[in-house]
């Protein structure tokens, strides 16, 4: 069985906040019919699908802060976030390989945390682990890929073509949106819960009124 990892990002265009990436592997039993281009899904649809992805897939999230965006530029920061997401996914897969075959009762007797990747029922469908083709083939949305040590393919418009990339796009987008909503409670003057840092008319107006926020990308034009 050959594993396929999809990678995509969210947050290249905003004037504030981090850029977020997700790396996802879908188990064979996952219903890909609920996936789609994250940009065409409503916020509610994205959140519902994201919940299913978090429950039923193995994934990693990676972040690059606004400081890193200013220091390295948005392109390099995006690749950094993608590499971090992929590395977290591979660590989760490694954990599963080291602990395959454990059942919840045995894990509990051993004092292990049940809220770990190998406690997800969907991943029992991938056992036995000896049949897995590792490392997974990586499909990255766009023209550029992060620095990885195994086979990677860049696919323009991949978030409309491959379910693994669709899943990554949805997870990255919803994770970043949740982060921005949470941060809005720290700096409520900027309405981050509404525009998520994107250069909307209201966002630009608030920057002109209050000055830059603490998570402003100072290398980006704000007006």
Strand order in the sheet with 2-10: 58-64, 19-25, 2-10, 133-141, 152-155
Domain-embedded: residue 161: yes
Domain-embedded: residue 215: no
Domain-embedded: residue 219: no
Residue whose entry in the numeric block shows the structure tokens 């602990």: 99
Task: Give me the CATH number covering residue 34.
Answer: 3.30.420.10
Domain-embedded: residue 108: yes
Residue 13, token pair as written in the block: 């265009």
Element (H, E) at 186: none
The total number of structural domains that make up the chain: 1
Domain-embedded: residue 38: yes
Residue-number span of the structural domain to which 187 is assigned: 2-210
Domain-embedded: residue 221: no
The model's confidence at residue 124, banded by pLDDT at 50, 70 and 90, is low
Closest CA to 206 of 220, 187, 219: 187
pTM of the model: 0.85
> pLDDT value at position 132?
62
Contacts of 62 (CB under 8 A, 6+ apart): 20, 21, 22, 23, 80, 81, 82, 83, 84, 85, 86, 87, 88
Q: What is the pLDDT of residues 66-110, one digit of tens each?
A: 999 999 999 999 999 999 999 999 988 887 777 655 444 444 444
> pLDDT value at position 1?
57
Question: Does residue 162 carry a pLDDT above 80?
Answer: yes
Domain-embedded: residue 217: no
Q: What is the pLDDT of residues 164-174, one digit of tens each?
A: 999 999 999 99
């Amino acid at each position: 069985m050959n594993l396929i990892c999809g990678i995509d990002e969210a947050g290249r265009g905003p004037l504030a906040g981090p850029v977020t990436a997700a790396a996802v592997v879908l188990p064979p039993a996952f219903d890909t019919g609920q996936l789609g281009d994250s940009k065409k899904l409503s916020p509610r649809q994205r959140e519902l699908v994201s919940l299913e992805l978090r429950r039923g897939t193995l994934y990693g999230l990676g972040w690059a802060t606004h400081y890193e965006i200013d220091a390295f530029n948005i392109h390099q920061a995006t690749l950094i976030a993608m590499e971090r997401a992929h590395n977290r996914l591979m660590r989760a897969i490694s954990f599963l390989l080291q602990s395959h075959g454990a059942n919840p009762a045995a894990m509990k007797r051993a004092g292990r945390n049940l809220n770990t990747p190998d406690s997800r029922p969907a991943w029992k469908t991938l056992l036995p682990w000896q049949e897995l083709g590792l490392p997974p083939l990586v499909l990255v949305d766009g023209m550029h890929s992060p620095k990885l040590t195994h086979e990677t393919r860049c696919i323009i418009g991949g978030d409309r073509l491959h379910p693994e990339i669709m899943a990554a796009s949805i997870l990255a987008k919803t994770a970043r949106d949740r982060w921005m909503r949470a941060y809005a409670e720290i700096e409520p003057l900027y309405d981050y819960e509404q525009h998520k840092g994107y250069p909307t008319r209201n966002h630009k107006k608030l920057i002109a009124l209050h000055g830059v926020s603490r998570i402003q990308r100072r290398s980006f034009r704000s007006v």
